Amino acid sequence: MPYGLEMTLTCTENVLPRRRAHSAQYAETGEYEIIWAHSAYWEAVEALRSEFPDLTWMYTGSGNEAIGGNAYWGDVFIHEPAYLAGIIAGSMTETNKLGAVAAFTFPNVNGPVNAFYDGARSVNPDIEMTVTYIESWFDPVKGKEAATAMIATGVDVIYAERFGPFEAAQEGGILAFGHFLDQHSLAPDVVVASPMALWDPNIRNIIEKWYDYTVNGVEHDARWTASSSASSTAAPSFHLSMLLRMSFLRMSRIWLLKQMTQSWQVRSLSPCEPKLSKKSPTDRIPRSTSFSA
């Protein structure tokens, strides 16, 4: 931990409908100095941050708006390594048909799915892509069923934003990409690579903001404009955004790295830069659809 600190983490899950009440309960105990509200919590944080000005608040992901002051926002921008995964998939496919199995039409879900498609089309304009939303954060059975249906139509590479497609890929003899974690060990024969989300920079950064306020007397000043591109925001939230670019793509087949190096060098990732707001431009894929050039 930074500064040699010893820290204790207390976690509560599945409380989204009562997020404000649960956040207030943590704040009122007086036992916590940093409260991390994960995803779509900005309204709860906004309502509480002034009531508890000495707390350092953190909220993450899409579906949020700017608050400022002692409320910091962060994300992992996993769309960037997903774009690189798309470049690989677009170069490997033999049918020019890609697929993605995802949870909901949520901006943080659509971001990497769109990026995967954009990356594939950057090297192969003939790509068609089918996306199926299983309407669940965790349902491997539905995930497998969706992937199996795609394979039957000729899809030969699938982006598995949820669990389930790997088994279908093994049975269908196609390749797949993981999501958020290095998932190669789950299905070594089919998982080419996994865009990985690293929250470590967020954690280090929010601890530093807390330390500056608590020890050095530096006032909180979390600047972020929800309608601005993440690459042009002002400090300190800009540092959160820039540090999060450390999320990376772990290659499971080294020869692909050599083949794709030239493409990675000449193609900008800027088409995938998100503008985070209530209506994110990443939220553009219908529930189940097919793309073609």
Q: Which residues belong to CATH 3.40.50.2300 in the chain?
A: 79-197+247-291
Pairing, β 71-74 against β 193-195? unpaired
- Output 184 or 150, whichever has higher pLDDT: 150
- DSSP line for 46-60: HHHHTTSTTSEEEEE
Q: What is the pLDDT of residues 225-238, one digit of tens each?
A: 433 323 222 222 22
- Contact of 23 with 45, CB cutoff 8 Å: yes
Residue 242, pLDDT > 80, answer no
CATH T-level topology, domain 79-197+247-291: Rossmann fold (3.40.50)
Q: What is the pLDDT of residues 74-123, one digit of tens each?
A: 888 888 889 989 999 999 999 999 999 999 998 889 999 999 999 999 99
Looking at every residue in the chain, the average pLDDT score rounds to 78
Predicted confidence band of residue 280 (pLDDT cuts 50, 70, 90): very low
For domain 2-74+199-245, which architecture applies?
3-Layer(aba) Sandwich (3.40)
- Contact of 57 with 81, CB cutoff 8 Å: no
pTM for this prediction: 0.75
- Contact of 134 with 105, CB cutoff 8 Å: no
Q: Name the one residue in this structure whose structure tokens are 């000495």.
A: 54
Q: What is the DSSP letter of 271?
A: G
